[in-house]
């Protein structure tokens, strides 16, 4: 960790106990002697004492806990809508834990409280020294952080920071990219106003009222008074009378004790009782006053005098839309401008999920769901998801009134419905999946050509490693390091290695276009006319998955040969396997991927079209016995045709095919050219 790792550790030590001294006094000590904390109430108010005032503490706690408790997600903008960017480095830091010692709630609660009390909440940004990827976020002490503007020319300024911890000997200058800064209510653009400093009089009055109330109870809940003697008494006698009276009656534990007056001494009450002072009214007004400062409905900090069943829900919505939203927006904009790279801002953005705070009562929610369901923008599963319930089969269908048709399409059930019927009739008597199989066949040569380039690169790079670690001038005998070869081989086949990068760069454009062709053909099979059907994101995920599988397979084969072959045969065995990669693998990969990807892409398209079940069909008369067993089998689209570990009998010859994975579509073995078709 860079220089602030030490600073963060020092912060932890500093917060563990008092470090103030003559040489390094705390901020409140300095201000005490300077008199800068004075307010009209005469009570010292700073960020520490303010949190002892119940209404202010309750308000800070409500806002900071709600900001920290709401899920904060990183999203990626899609062509239509958005998707959760779970692979973005910031996603786990913002949603789960920003560092090893804090959860997301504690971290964001901490910084929000700092921003309210001090006008600034800040965290140190820990990045990877080589890649620059953000790895951790650590909160900083706001009283030790100073914002320093720096002029960069052409009217441009940057916000730099100085972190001064004299008690621990830490002085650090931090660049803009090293700090996540969340400001409070705006001041001069460099920071925010401290609510504690602005509301010092109100908080001081509240603290003074509490102190007065406590002292009143300490004095038997009675105002002060005087003892009067008819004659003149000496100073010693006066002091003794006062001490005896206070010893007998002062304090709540002595309430109700009987007093005996001697020698004509009388008691005269001085001051006003609490009801005359309007003590309780003053305390209630202070709670309302804190609500104004914090922009909170009074019921949020415990004042229920004006809360009713009819208005408390609207007050809750007002709190979310007014007070809380401003803090959530501060967080989101700080993340966009300070943590995301400029080139990322057009694609990624953070957003809080506030749905849980905006939920109405059961009747209101269900009425809203009914409207959305009736007019077609909510499905049954959409509603169940919002109610934290599991999805059900068939729950993804959207319903609309029968008389709702596009303008110009005619009446009745609409031109679209008649077009679907006509298309379905045209499909009768022919096998539309054959056209889809032809699409897959047309892409096979391009897949083979791409794999040929990958195989050639593997032969070249692995050949270099063989020459470096396993072969010498004496034909491979003498100098030999299998361990070194395997280590270098692992780097070659790493996810970010040259083989993986080449494979992804070649496969991604091929499979993206391949998916688009299959989607068109699959949509026609079921009469689905969604022109916006886009499988590019799914195709990218497929390529990433298949690349990882291919890298692991090739590395595993070569590593096994290197470890298991005889000493004088290892080089020849490795070269033979690389030759097979070049001469045989491209065609095999093309056949396998052409069929697998074609069926998988069609299945994704049908899921979008609302198809619920699929059927396995075979081609030709020379189908293998295993595929014949599967021919005609039907299953729900979300379920596999064959589960991992399931066995398929052949023609009774005793041999069985054991599934190595859940099989949702063909192929089930090398050379299988079966297809899946929708059940409509």
Structure confidence by residue, pLDDT tens digits, 568-578 = 888 888 899 89
3-state secondary structure 571-612: HHHHHHHHHHHHHCHHHHHHHHHHHHHHHHHHHHHHHHHCCC
Sign (positive or negative) of CA dihedral 653, 658, 664, 669? negative
Confidence at residue 280, expressed as pLDDT on a 0 to 100 scale: 57
Average pLDDT over residues 409-435: 44
Strands 145-151 and 179-183, sheet pairing = unpaired
Cβ-count burial 367-376 (b if 16+ within 10 Å, e if not): eebeeebeee
- HSE-CB at 341 with a 13 A cutoff on CA atoms is 7
Which of 213-222, 393-402, 445-454 is predicted with the least confidence, judged by mean pLDDT? 213-222
Position 363 pLDDT exceeds 70:
no
Position 114 pLDDT exceeds 90:
yes
Q: Which residue has the tokens 């790279």?
A: 341
Q: How far apart are CA 593 and CA 126, in angstroms?
A: 42
For residues 187 and 463, the model is more confident at: 463
Whether residue 169 is preceded by a cis peptide bond, meaning omega within 30 degrees of 0, is no
Confidence at residue 272, expressed as pLDDT on a 0 to 100 scale: 46
Question: For the chain, what is the radius of gyration of the CA atoms?
Answer: 38
Q: How far apart are CA 56 and CA 61, in angstroms?
A: 8
Structure confidence by residue, pLDDT tens digits, 126-180 = 998 888 899 999 999 998 998 888 877 777 888 888 888 877 778 888 888 899 9
Confidence at residue 432, expressed as pLDDT on a 0 to 100 scale: 59
Position 208 pLDDT exceeds 60:
yes
Confidence at residue 294, expressed as pLDDT on a 0 to 100 scale: 83
Give the DSSP H or E segment for 88: none
Position 120 pLDDT exceeds 70:
yes
Structure confidence by residue, pLDDT tens digits, 635-656 = 888 888 887 777 776 655 556 7
Structure confidence by residue, pLDDT tens digits, 313-353 = 666 667 776 778 888 999 999 999 999 999 999 999 999 98
Burial class (CB within 10 angstroms; exposed 0-12, middle 13-18, buried 19+) of 343: exposed
Position 10 pLDDT exceeds 80:
no
Structure confidence by residue, pLDDT tens digits, 581-597 = 899 888 888 888 888 88
Confidence at residue 419, expressed as pLDDT on a 0 to 100 scale: 42
For residues 609 and 179, the model is more confident at: 179
pLDDT band at 32, cuts 50/70/90? very low
Confidence at residue 214, expressed as pLDDT on a 0 to 100 scale: 64
Structure confidence by residue, pLDDT tens digits, 509-532 = 888 888 888 887 777 777 776 566
Any idea what DSSP says for residue 17?
S
Confidence at residue 218, expressed as pLDDT on a 0 to 100 scale: 55
Average pLDDT, the chain: 76
Structure confidence by residue, pLDDT tens digits, 212-271 = 666 665 555 455 566 666 667 667 766 777 776 666 655 545 554 555 555 556 666 555
Q: Helices 482-492 and 433-469 sit at what angle, rounded to 10 degrees? A: 140
Which of 270-284, 290-304, 328-342 is predicted with the least confidence, judged by mean pLDDT? 270-284
Q: How far is CA 243 from CA 227, 250, 670, in A?
A: 12, 10, 104
User: What value, to the nearest 5°, has the Cα angle with vertex 436 and ends 421 and 538?
Assistant: 100
pLDDT band at 181, cuts 50/70/90? very high
pLDDT band at 408, cuts 50/70/90? very low
Q: Which residues pair with 159 in a beta bridge?
A: 149
Written as one string, the DSSP assignment of 411-429 is STTHHHHHHHHHHHHHHTT
Q: Helices 482-492 and 536-564 sit at what angle, rounded to 10 degrees? A: 170
**H helix and E strand count, the chain:** 23, 18
pLDDT band at 9, cuts 50/70/90? very low
Average pLDDT over residues 79-99: 91
Position 539 pLDDT exceeds 60:
yes
Confidence at residue 89, expressed as pLDDT on a 0 to 100 scale: 92
Segment of 83-92, 221-230, 363-372 carrying the highest mean pLDDT: 83-92
Contact 137, 123 (CB under 8 A): yes
Q: How far apart are CA 660 and CA 549, in angstroms?
A: 14
For residues 106 and 619, the model is more confident at: 106
Segment of 34-48, 186-200, 257-271, 417-431 carrying the highest mean pLDDT: 186-200
Average pLDDT over residues 608-618: 83
For residues 187 and 55, the model is more confident at: 55
Confidence at residue 249, expressed as pLDDT on a 0 to 100 scale: 57
- What contacts 143, CB < 8 A, 6 or more positions away? 27, 47, 118
Q: Write out the two tokens for 178.
A: 């090293």
Confidence at residue 611, expressed as pLDDT on a 0 to 100 scale: 83
Confidence at residue 374, expressed as pLDDT on a 0 to 100 scale: 78
pLDDT band at 305, cuts 50/70/90? low
């Amino acid at each position: 960790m860079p220089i602030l790792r030490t600073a963060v550790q020092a912060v932890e030590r500093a917060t563990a106990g008092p470090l103030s001294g003559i040489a390094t006094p705390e901020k409140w000590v300095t201000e005490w002697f300077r008199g800068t904390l004075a307010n009209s109430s005469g009570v010292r108010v700073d960020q520490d004492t303010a949190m002892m005032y119940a209404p202010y503490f309750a308000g800070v706690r409500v806002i900071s806990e709600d900001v920290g408790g709401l899920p904060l997600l990183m999203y990626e903008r899609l062509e239509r809508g958005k998707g959760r960017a779970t692979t973005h480095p910031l996603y786990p830091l913002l949603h789960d834990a920003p560092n090893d010692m804090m959860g997301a709630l504690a971290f964001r609660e901490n910084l929000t409280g700092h921003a309210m009390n001090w006008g600034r909440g800040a965290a140190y940004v820990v990045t990877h020294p080589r890649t620059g990827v953000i790895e951790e976020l650590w909160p900083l002490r706001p009283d030790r952080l100073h914002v320093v503007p720096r002029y960069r020319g052409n009217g441009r300024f940057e916000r730099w920071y100085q972190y001064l911890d004299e008690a621990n000997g830490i002085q650090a200058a931090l660049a803009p990219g090293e700090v996540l800064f969340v400001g409070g209510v705006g001041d001069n653009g460099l920071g925010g106003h401290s609510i504690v400093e602005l509301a010092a009089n109100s908080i001081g009055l509240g603290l003074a009222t509490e102190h007065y109330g406590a002292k009143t109870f300490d004095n038997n809940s009675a105002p002060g008074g005087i003892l009067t003697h008819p004659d003149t008494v000496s100073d010693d006698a006066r002091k003794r009378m006062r001490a005896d009276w206070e010893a007998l009656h002062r304090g709540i534990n002595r309430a109700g004790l009987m007093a005996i007056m001697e020698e004509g001494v009388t008691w005269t009450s001085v001051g006003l009782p609490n009801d005359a002072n309007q003590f309780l009214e003053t305390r209630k007004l202070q709670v309302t006053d804190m609500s104004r400062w914090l922009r909170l409905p009074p019921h949020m900090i415990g004042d229920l005098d004006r809360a009713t069943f009819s208005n408390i829900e609207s007050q809750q919505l007002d709190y979310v839309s007014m007070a809380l939203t401003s803090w959530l927006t501060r967080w989101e904009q700080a993340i966009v401008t300070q943590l995301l790279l400029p080139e990322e801002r057009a694609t990624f953005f953070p957003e809080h999920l506030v749905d849980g705070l905006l939920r109405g009562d059961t009747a209101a929610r269900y009425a809203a769901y009914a409207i959305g369901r009736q007019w077609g923008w909510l499905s049954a599963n959409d509603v169940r998801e919002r109610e934290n319930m599991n999805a059900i089969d068939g729950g993804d269908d959207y319903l609309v009134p029968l008389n709702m048709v596009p303008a110009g399409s005619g009446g009745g059930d609409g031109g679209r419905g008649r077009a679907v019927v006509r298309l379905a009739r045209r499909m009768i008597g022919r096998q539309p999946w054959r056209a889809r199989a032809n699409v897959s066949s047309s892409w096979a040569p391009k897949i083979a050509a791409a794999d040929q380039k990958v195989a050639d690169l593997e032969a070249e790079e692995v050949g270099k490693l063989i020459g470096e670690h396993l072969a010498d001038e004496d034909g491979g005998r003498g100098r030999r390091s299998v361990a070194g070869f395997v280590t270098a081989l692992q780097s070659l086949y790493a996810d970010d290695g040259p083989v993986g990068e080449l494979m992804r760069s070649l496969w991604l454009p091929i499979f993206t276009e391949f998916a688009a062709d299959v989607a068109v053909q699959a949509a026609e099979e079921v009469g689905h006319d969604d022109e916006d059907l886009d499988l590019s994101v799914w195709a990218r995920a497929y390529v990433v998955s298949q690349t990882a599988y291919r890298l692991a397979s090739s590395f595993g084969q070569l590593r096994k040969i290197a470890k298991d072959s005889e000493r004088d045969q290892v080089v020849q065995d490795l070269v033979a396997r690389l030759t097979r990669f070049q001469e045989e693998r491209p065609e095999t990969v093309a056949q396998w991927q052409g069929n697998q990807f074609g069926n998988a892409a069609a299945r994704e398209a049908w899921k979008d079209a609302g198809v619920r079940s699929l059927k396995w069909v075979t081609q030709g008369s020379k189908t293998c016995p295993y595929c014949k067993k599967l021919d005609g089998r039907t299953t729900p689209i979300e379920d596999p045709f064959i589960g991992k570990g399931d066995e398929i009998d052949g023609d009774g010859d005793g041999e069985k095919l054991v599934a190595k994975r859940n099989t949702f579509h063909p192929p089930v073995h090398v050379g299988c050219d079966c297809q899946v078709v929708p059940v409509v």
